[in-house]
Amino acid sequence: MQSLLDPAILFFALGVFAGLVRSNLEMPAAISKFLSIYLLMALGLKGGFALAASGLTPSVASSLGLAVLLAVVVPLVGYVLLRRVVSGFNAAAVAATYGSVSAVTFVTATQYLDSQHIAYGGYMAAAMALMESPAIILAVMLANALRQRQATASTGMVPAHRGQPVMAMASAGAGAPGGHSMGHGSAVAAASPAPNLSVGKILHESFTDGTQLLLLGAMVIGLVTGDEGKAAMQPFSGDLFKGMLCLFLLDMGLNTARSLPAVRHQSPWLLAYAVVGPLVHASLALVLAWWLQVPAGDATLLMVLAASASYIAVPAVVRYAIPEAQPSLYVSLSLGVTFPLNIVLGIPLYTQVVQWAWVG
């Protein structure tokens, strides 16, 4: 119970409550964007400072390698399971959402570990960055394969490669990742041809995306400047961090409340996946981290990353890369179900499990 009294979690609960009672409390869009930029910049700096202090040790390499492995295995397993209950395109979109990661969940987890005086590697921010893109790439490749099979079955011809840019199109809708103004994916698909995107284009757009670039760039700056940079940036990336996170989670609570009505219309099987799937993903991370003898703090963060789901980066790309999928489906599941469960219950649970398994 004490873990639920963390100010960040309580501000998230306040945001949810305000949204449910239809309060006029609202975070201006510009402030919300600033908070996102601040958290990513501060997180990258912290990771860079930690990596400068530790160097690339076998323990660091094990944690980062395991992160990449999870980023590939989780969406593939998710797609195989989801394909049994929804269409292939919806399965690819949901698998990408749950195979990628939530930066806010990760940041909240690091603050929780700090409050519990549990050590972890700041370089785990690099693990988060590495885990964001593989699920998107796999989902788009699966969608392209589905389109080719459909075209072959109907006409006997394979569709031509078009290689349309992803983020150029996504920028039109990235400002409202949880909105439903585009309607169902089938309507978008009917209005314009579905893009058949190359892996090279997806990689380029993923690693030059603003959030990804800021996180990695701040990490490099922290790595280069080391202890002197850490001391200089402490008032910005250290002292202010908790308060900024509380403001951002207040806004996320409001967004979560807005997404809840859409959750009621989802299939019971999908709702079960949104609850049980993250637990299975976290359990997989737990077993692999224990096998590789990853430090306890890092193992907890790997469980959090494996259990989290993207509600901003993936929807912004997938909505236009896989227009056949329904945005209301994968956004409502990740933001309305999985995100609050991880914030309120998941992070304390994963921490306690790791402490029991590592410390006894």
How do residues 238-282 score in pLDDT, each as one tens digit? 888 889 989 988 998 898 888 888 788 788 999 999 999 999 999
The domains of the chain are located at: 2-16+30-358
The whole-angstrom separation of Cα 252 and Cα 260 is 12
pLDDT at 247: 92
The whole-angstrom separation of Cα 88 and Cα 82 is 8
Enumerate residue ranges in the chain where pLDDT < 50.
Answer: 1, 158-193
Taking only the tens place, the pLDDT of each residue in 93-113 is 999 999 999 888 998 999 899
**Can you state the angle between helices 58-82 and 124-132, rounded to 10 degrees?**
30
127: left (phi over 0), alpha (psi -120 to 50) or beta: alpha
Residues 6+ apart with CB under 8 A from 272: none
pLDDT at 309: 92
pLDDT at 274: 93
Average pLDDT, the chain: 81
Q: Which of 105, 72, 127 shows the shortest CA–CA distance to 252?
A: 105
The whole-angstrom separation of Cα 255 and Cα 144 is 32
Which one of 3.30.70, 1.10.287, 1.10.150, 1.20.1530 gives the CATH number of domain 2-16+30-358?
Answer: 1.20.1530
Q: Which of 162, 185, 161, 181 shows the shortest CA–CA distance to 173?
A: 181
What tokens were used for 97? 């959402």
The letter for the amino acid at 166 is V
The whole-angstrom separation of Cα 259 and Cα 92 is 21
pLDDT at 201: 64
